[in-house]
Amino acid sequence: MAGADGDDSLYPIAVLIDELRNEDVQLRLNSIKKLSTIALALGVERTRTELLPFLTDTIYDEDEVLLALAEQLGNFTMLVGGPEYVHCLLPPLESLATVEETVVRDKAVESLRKISQEHSPVDLEVHFEPLVKRLASGDWFTSRTSACGLFSVCYPRVSSTVKAEIRQHFRTLCSDDTPMVRRAAASKLGEFAKVLELEYVKTDIIPLFTALASDEQDSVRLLAVEACVSIATLLPQEDLETLVMPTLRQAAEDKSWRVRYMVADKFSELQKAVGPEITKNDLVPAFQNLLKDCEAEVRAAAANKVKEFCENLPEDNREQIIMSHILPCVKELVSDTNQHVKSALASVIMGLSTILGKDNTIEHLLPLFLTQLKDECPEVRLNIISNLDCVNEVIGIRQLSQSLLPAIVELAEDAKWRVRLAIIEYMPLLAGQLGVEFFDEKLNTLCMAWLIDHVYAIREAATSNLTKLVEKFGAEWAQNTIVPKVLGMANDPNYLHRMTTLFCINALSEACGQEITTKQMLPVVLKMSNDQVANVRFNVAKSLQKIGPVLDSNALQTEVKPVLEKLASDSDMDVKYFAQEAISDLVWLAAPKEMKVRMLACFDLRGACRAEQDQTPDTCPHPDCCWHVERCRTRAGLSLPWSFELPQSSTPAL
């Protein structure tokens, strides 16, 4: 294949190959990402005999290069000649599976798992399984940890003797000296159990599980909790009690809070895995204990699961269990000393109302909601407010609105701007729940006040909030309530407020549509082009660029163009720059399609053409390269910088 098409087609590939060893990491990375192009040009034979041996030894490289390489090799089967030759990919991936960076190793393992499927059963035993063994008995723990992830993919497809060997290797790794390997084995235990025959799950996996769950290092024990979920789903119900439950009970009462945290964190999964009967007898008391745990981290994790746990309780006596066992604990958590616990609870507690129904909610939950709405910690209040929709469905929001409004107002005026920012984000949701009437009456003033907040981030959020409100309530509502106020700020003595007008127009023009934009907003923007503050003037240019697509071509030609041209000769450098940006952008909008295609084409070849930067345009071999496009661009009379969205991240050096 190589060389057949003449020199011109070889050149970009030659550049890519050379850049595999360029000193600039970014160029190496680009080359690695185009590895398939290189391989395609070299052909399967040379890919196998030359490219792969070279790649096998590049493990000295930067992590990001190695990561990209590991990923590429997972999709390389066709490029080395199909499944028949897929084993050629094993050596480079093997060396990547031993590097110190976890992300690279994980990616290498992922790719190995992927290509293992492309091995024939024979190749799997001849090539793949020996690799797994080599990794599993490697000197360094990095290779042994990588091995843990490979057992489960080859086990189902090998002969029973090899299967026995694999089980033996896994057993060895589970009792490895280094905790790293034991952790890797523990985290793959569930996955491995799934591919084993049930008898071996009982004879092999269960002892390993029990051992890992009582490992001396709590970092290993906590991973056994995760395995517990998968193992429990595999075993028949009658075996759970003897084989899994002792370990699970022990984990729920582990000395180390991290293990208990893990139990709390995985509680819903555990609950589903062990079934309703065990849940009722064992998990309910265990969950109660976790909700009352002495470590706040554990309580918070458990509090997070309250809703899911209750949802998954067997329906026949769900209400009774919740009311008599869970709710008392929840009530205590509402006044917990730790704010993370309270806010974790606040983020799910509203969900209980759908489970308990209207009467219970009003009698038992509503007081809790109201307490949390008055909590000293803003995060707790925010979490309650952000979940209002659940309650709205059950009891209607009116029950809450009395307490709601003061809470919202207080948050809206909080001294911390991040809190104000958070409540702004919930405004569209609240507006939807409360309806336009309530909103106009109580919340509209707040929304407008944020526009003149002294923190920029708040003004910015307030702007996008308006957009969302307009999307919800419609353009007519906007025209009556928001637009006049926004446009009024154009005459504000404070230039920051005048700029806010422009930002709002940027955000609203699309939602409001052509009519409002042309008739009401555009005149204000154009008038502001005479502002004495340069920041306002260049933001006018930016606004015009932004709302240009919404306007009709007549308005563009007769109104926008003269103003932009005036700004393009402004005395201020930035105003000039942004005006020119806007012009070229709008010109690009109007440019004929054919020219746009040519302009964009050059960027696809950018990788290959970069080497040309030190050469003159005339010597560049590519008719579509950026130099050529630059020349046609000049010929077309577009002497202003272009700023349209590029398909790749950076603009070419001009």
Partner 1 sequence: MAGPGGDMQWCFSQVKGAIDDDVAEEIVSANCKSAEMLRHHTPFWASGTPTSTKAPHCNLVAHCVSAPVGNKGPSECAWTSDIISTVEFNHTGELLATGDKGGRVVIFQQEVENKNLPQFRSEYNVYSTFQSHEPEFDYLKSLEIEEKINKIRWLPQKNAAQFLLSTNDKTIKLWKISERDKRPEGYNLKEEDGRYRDRNSITALRVPVLIPMDLMVEASPRRVFANAHTYHINSVSVNSDYETYLSADDLRINLWNLEITDRSFNIVDIKPANMEELTEVITAAEFHPHQCNTFVYSSSKGTIRLCDMRISALCDKHSKLFEEPENPSNRSFFSEIISSISDVKFSHNGRYVMTRDYLSVKIWDLNMENRPVETYQVHEYLRSKLCSLYENDCIFDKFECCWNGNDSVVMTGSYNNFFRMFDRGQRRDATLEASRENSKPLQVLKPRKVCTGGKRKKDEISVDSLDFNKKILHTAWHPQDNIIAVATINNLYIFQDKVN
Contacts with partner 1, residue ranges (CB under 8 A)? 2-3, 7, 10-11, 13-15, 17-18, 20-21, 41-42, 46, 50-51, 53-54, 57, 60, 98-100, 102, 140-143, 178-180, 183, 216-219, 255-258, 294-297, 611, 621
CB 489 within 8 A of CB 451: yes
At closest approach, how far in Å is the CB of 467 from partner 1? 32
Which residue, 50 or 389, has its beta carbon nearer to partner 1? 50
Structure tokens at 65: 């290069």
Question: What number of H helices and E strands is found in the chain?
Answer: 45, 0
Which residue, 18 or 316, has its beta carbon nearer to partner 1? 18
With tokens 């992300």, the residue in question is 103
Longest dimension (CA), the chain: 86
Structure tokens at 243: 């084989």
At closest approach, how far in Å is the CB of 137 from partner 1? 15
Which residue, 260 or 633, has its beta carbon nearer to partner 1? 260
- The alpha carbon of 84 is separated from its chain's Cα centroid by a whole number of angstroms, namely 37
Structure tokens at 621: 């071999």
Q: How far is CA 264 from CA 130, 327, 340, 348, in A?
A: 40, 17, 15, 15
Which residue, 223 or 390, has its beta carbon nearer to partner 1? 223
With tokens 């009116």, the residue in question is 398
Which residue, 13 or 366, has its beta carbon nearer to partner 1? 13
Mention every residue, 6+ apart, whose C-beta is less than 8 A from residue 216: none
At closest approach, how far in Å is the CB of 258 from partner 1? 7
Which residue, 42 or 400, has its beta carbon nearer to partner 1? 42
Which residue, 13 or 162, has its beta carbon nearer to partner 1? 13
At closest approach, how far in Å is the CB of 211 from partner 1? 17
Burial profile 214-240: b = 16 or more Cβ within 10 angstroms, e = fewer: ebeebebbbbbbbbbbbbbbbbeeebb
Least Cα distance to 184 among 219, 133, 234, 229 occurs for: 219
Which residue, 215 or 460, has its beta carbon nearer to partner 1? 215
CB 499 within 8 A of CB 536: yes
Residue 551 three-state SS: coil
At closest approach, how far in Å is the CB of 240 from partner 1? 27
At closest approach, how far in Å is the CB of 179 from partner 1? 5
Burial (Cβ within 10 Å: 0-12, 13-18, ≥19) of residue 593: exposed
At closest approach, how far in Å is the CB of 336 from partner 1? 15
DSSP category for residue 441: I
At closest approach, how far in Å is the CB of 605 from partner 1? 15
At closest approach, how far in Å is the CB of 295 from partner 1? 5
Q: In 3-state terms, the chain is what percent helix, strand and coil (to 5)?
A: 80, 0, 20
Mention every residue, 6+ apart, whose C-beta is less than 8 A from residue 127: 87, 90, 119
At closest approach, how far in Å is the CB of 13 from partner 1? 6
- The alpha carbon of 444 is separated from its chain's Cα centroid by a whole number of angstroms, namely 33
The letter for the amino acid at 409 is V
At closest approach, how far in Å is the CB of 297 from partner 1? 5
Measured between alpha carbons, how far is 491 from 497 in angstroms, rounded to an integer?
9
At closest approach, how far in Å is the CB of 278 from partner 1? 27
Neighbours of 113 (CB within 10 A): 15
Q: What's the number of CA atoms in the CB half-sphere (13 Å) around residue 202?
A: 9
Measured between alpha carbons, how far is 213 from 40 in angstroms, rounded to an integer?
49
Which residue, 215 or 581, has its beta carbon nearer to partner 1? 215
Which residue, 41 or 423, has its beta carbon nearer to partner 1? 41
With tokens 């909601």, the residue in question is 369
Q: Any idea of the CA torsion for 470, 473, 474, 480, to the nearest 10 degrees?
A: -80
> Quick one: residue 492, left, alpha or beta (phi over 0 = left, psi -120 to 50 = alpha)?
beta
At closest approach, how far in Å is the CB of 309 from partner 1? 23
The letter for the amino acid at 453 is D
Which residue, 91 or 513, has its beta carbon nearer to partner 1? 91
- The alpha carbon of 493 is separated from its chain's Cα centroid by a whole number of angstroms, namely 42
- The alpha carbon of 222 is separated from its chain's Cα centroid by a whole number of angstroms, namely 26
Residue 646 three-state SS: coil
DSSP letters along 39-99, please? HHHHHHHHIIIIIHHHHHT-TTS-HHHHHHHHHHHTT-TGGGTSGGGGGGGHHHHHHHTTS
Which residue, 102 or 324, has its beta carbon nearer to partner 1? 102
At closest approach, how far in Å is the CB of 89 from partner 1? 16
CB 260 within 8 A of CB 293: yes
Strands (E), 479-518: none
Q: How far is CA 346 from CA 354, 361, 381, 433, 608, in A?
A: 15, 15, 8, 18, 55
Which residue, 21 or 527, has its beta carbon nearer to partner 1? 21
At closest approach, how far in Å is the CB of 68 from partner 1? 18
Which residue, 19 or 585, has its beta carbon nearer to partner 1? 19
Which residue, 301 or 430, has its beta carbon nearer to partner 1? 301
Which residue, 176 or 375, has its beta carbon nearer to partner 1? 176
At closest approach, how far in Å is the CB of 360 from partner 1? 34
